[in-house]
Amino acid sequence: MSKDKIIKVLVCKPGLDGHDRGAKVLARALRDAGMEVIYTGIHQTPDDIVNTVIQEDPDAVMLSILSGSHNALCPIIMQKLKDQGIDDVLVAVGGIIPDEDKPFLEEQGLKGFYGPGTNLSTIVEFVKNNLKR
């Protein structure tokens, strides 16, 4: 693909947690970094997310979970993406993710874990440098 491809990112909130301040702030920061950002809103089921990934074909998916349901939801999302043969999308997760859960999530194929207080520019750089395609 051409060099001037604009990075397209999906920012979504799986599960029931409605704390969307971080997700919205991140969406704006990614936009201001020149990316095209789709914010899916809250209460996304794994199927919603996977369907959106299929149709929108983003380069990266940023999940935001603050309710502690990451260990239950992330593996399902990753599995459903695999079932669809989608393996070239960067999937990162932000929110309240304890260090000890990270190895498990990495095993599932997630990369990049950003908790409260992370600099937005850190996440922007992470996305730019870790795209899989």
Partner 1 sequence: MDYSDLTKSLIKGNTRAAARLITIVENDIEAAEVIINSIYQHTGKAYILGVTGSPGSGKSTFISTLTKSYIDLGKKVGIICVDPTSPLTGGALLGDRIRMKQYFSLDNVFIRSMANRGQLGGLARATEDVIKILDVYGCDIIIVETVGVGQSEVDIFKSAQSVVVLVVPGLGDEIQAIKAGIMEITDIFVVNKMDLPGADKKVADIMQMLEFKKSYKYESEGVGDKFMKIDKWTPEITKVNSKTGENFDNLLKLINKHKTFLQDSGVISNYMKNRIKNETIQILKHKLTKKAEELIHSNNKIEEFIEKAIKKSLDPYSLAGEILKLFFEK
Partner 2 sequence: MAEFDKIKEDMEEWQNSYPTKKERRKSFKNLSDIEIKRLYTPNDVKELNYELDLGFPGQYPFTRGAYPNMYRGRLWTMRQFAGFGTAEQTNNRYKFLIEHGQTGLSVAFSLHTIYGIEATDQKALGEIGKEGVAIDTLKDMETLFDGIDLSKISTSMTINAPASILLAMYIVTAEKQGHSPEQLRGTIQNDILKEYIAQKSWIYPPEPSMRLIVDTIEYCTNHVPQWYTISISGYHIREAGSTAVQELAFTLADGFAYVEAAIERGLDVDAFAPRLSFFFNSHNNFFEEVCKYRAARRIWAKHMKNKYGAKKPESLRLRFHTQTAGVSLTAQEPENNMVRVTLQGLAAVLGGTQSLHTNSFDEALCLPTENAVKIALRTQQIIAHESGVTDTVDPLAGSYYVEWLTNKMEEEAENYFQQIDELGGVIPAIKANFFQKEIANASYKYQQEIENRERTIVAVNQYQQKEPCTVPLLKIDEEVAKEQVNTLIKIKQERDNDKIQENLLKLKEAAKGTENLMPYIMDAIRAYASIGEIINTLKEVFGTYFEDSIF
Near partner 1 by CB under 8 A: residue from 18, 21, 25, 41: 41
Each residue 29-58 as x (binds partner 2 by CB under 8 A) or -, in order, gives x---------x-xxx-x-------------
Determine, following the binding rule CB under 8 A, whether residue 91 of this chain makes contact with partner 2.
no
Q: Please report where in the chains the tokens 């604009």 appear, as a residue.
A: 6
Q: Which is nearer to partner 1, 4 or 100 (CB)?
A: 4
What totals of helices (H) and strands (E) does the chain contain, helices first? Answer: 5, 5
Q: Cβ(130)–Cβ(111) under 8 Å? A: yes
Among 37, 73, 81, 123, binds partner 1 (CB under 8 A): 37
Cα–Cα distance measured from residue 130 to residue 37, given in angstroms and rounded to the nearest whole number: 17
- Tell me the closest approach of the beta carbon of residue 90 to partner 2, in angstroms: 22
Binding to partner 2 by CB under 8 A, coded x per residue (else -) over 58-87, reads ---------xxxxxxx--x-----------
- The answer to whether 92 and 70 have CB atoms below 8 angstroms apart is no
- Cβ atoms 38, 52 nearer than 8 A: yes
